[in-house]
Chains A and B, each alone.
Chain A
């Protein structure tokens, strides 16, 4: 019997190792962030991680500080792992900013030389992750030609336009937040909580789903499944708790 459901968030992340490269879904305060998996990694304590995400996130605000925006209940983002000192490198398009009610733990660590940041335009980040899943060796893309993004990259003029060569962003683990999943790993999402999540599913050696709900095989309409189970290795369910 095929059953990718594991018993706990802790069990799902237990083999994440020091130095692992991790893809992490999520965008803004949408419910698309795998908060429980991130908390489990914080507990695991592995170090020297590389995170790839649109934004590593803002982490936890100091006690008593009011956030500039509302976040979902029980919310944590990748900023937590930066605050715990577990991250050495970040690929992102939006590192964040320091302003009242918003923390950007990345900046502090970056200024102290404890963390490396590679800026990737948002669309290039998505495409590099997609390429990793799709087995594409590299691709030419116009975004970034004539800017600092092109530094050190091969260039080529295609149809009269400058393009730069970008490589897939290969990872060890992908943390994906879904809405419903079945035991084969088929997943659907909700609204803009989808964002990077289905792009990352299957783009790493091990893809771990954090879903709101587990459903029986056949409950998800095959016409509307967004992530086919083939891309999924492990499933954790929020309703089961940590």
Chain B
């Protein structure tokens, strides 16, 4: 059995995409973990939908927890010099107005065209859209980080999403527990593989046909 990356390692791989000066929004789950792996030589600013730019890390002690400072996943954050607060209308003006450089979201399914489904498996239930739709429509650059397959080993990277869409044609890069794939006009380009995984292994649990990058390499972790 080949080993898949754990959540922390996927988050670390995501953080390798952070560049100096970027404004970044991190979604629920694994994306949030990426804040722990900012490369040391760069400065980035995190945006939270609930009205904050430039918040600091999760507080270490209980005394530092402040009910006036939570991030968009409802988790306590800390104050940091340079941070600012604003209301929800402003916050989403920043998002829709394409002022956010990079957004990282979790995914249930991604299609080869870069369609994203991540809020419900069925319209029969009110799932949680939250800020994900606005982020998917408004970000310059959207990374989806998710396991490559479902718990039953069914592909989550598909020709067409079967779940209701969050946004069509919005994903730029897919980071999974076994691969990194770029969404291109010609389909998905396999760029990186997790240690121990070959392109054929990855293709076998991916529905659409993958293009293999001439520079295909093992993930640097």
Contacts and interface: CB of A to CB of B under 8 A. Distances in A.
B128 A29 contact: no
Contact of B166 (A70, A147, A191): A147
A146 B52 CA distance: 29
Nearest to B73: A28
B128 A95 contact: yes
A119 B164 contact: no
B157 to A, nearest CB: 20
Given A117-B126, A192-B68, A28 B74 contact: yes
A28 B70 contact: yes
Contacts of B52: 191-192
A31 B67 contact: yes
B88 interface: yes
Interface in B59-104: 65-71, 73-74, 85-89, 91-92, 95-96
A9 interface: no
Interface in B30-54: 48-52
A234 interface: no
Nearest to B133: A121
Nearest to B135: A123
A126 B126 contact: no
Contacts of A190: 68
A192 B133 contact: no
B85 A122 contact: no
A141 B96 contact: yes
Given A191-B66, A195-B51, A142 B96 contact: yes
Q: Which among A30, A125, A196 has the highest number of chain B CB atoms within 10 Å?
A: A30
B67 A122 contact: no
Interface residues of B, number: 40
Interface in A123-173: 123-127, 129-130, 141-149
Contacts of B91: 123, 126
Interface in B92-146: 92, 95-96, 123, 126-134, 137-138
A179 B153 CA distance: 50
Contact of A191 (B68, B126, B129, B131): B68
A226 interface: yes
B87 A29 contact: no
B15 interface: no
A70 B65 contact: yes
Interface in A50-84: 54, 69-70, 72
Contacts of A72: 67
Contacts of B166: 147
A163 B51 CA distance: 25
Given A72-B67, A96-B128, A122-B49, A191 B85 contact: yes
A84 to B, nearest CB: 20
A125 to B, nearest CB: 8
Nearest to A70: B65
Nearest to A197: B87
A54 B129 CA distance: 10
B111 to A, nearest CB: 12
Contact of B131 (A121, A129, A141, A199): A121
A193 interface: yes
Given A117-B126, A143-B137, A193-B68, A93 B131 contact: yes
B155 interface: no
A29 B166 CA distance: 25
A123 B95 contact: yes
Interface string A186-208: 00011111111111000000000
Contact of B130 (A30, A93, A130, A195): A93
A193 B69 CA distance: 7
A94 B68 contact: no
Q: Which 10 pairs from chain A and chain B are nearest by CB?
A: A123-B92, A191-B68, A28-B74, A123-B134, A121-B133, A126-B88, A146-B168, A31-B67, A190-B68, A122-B131
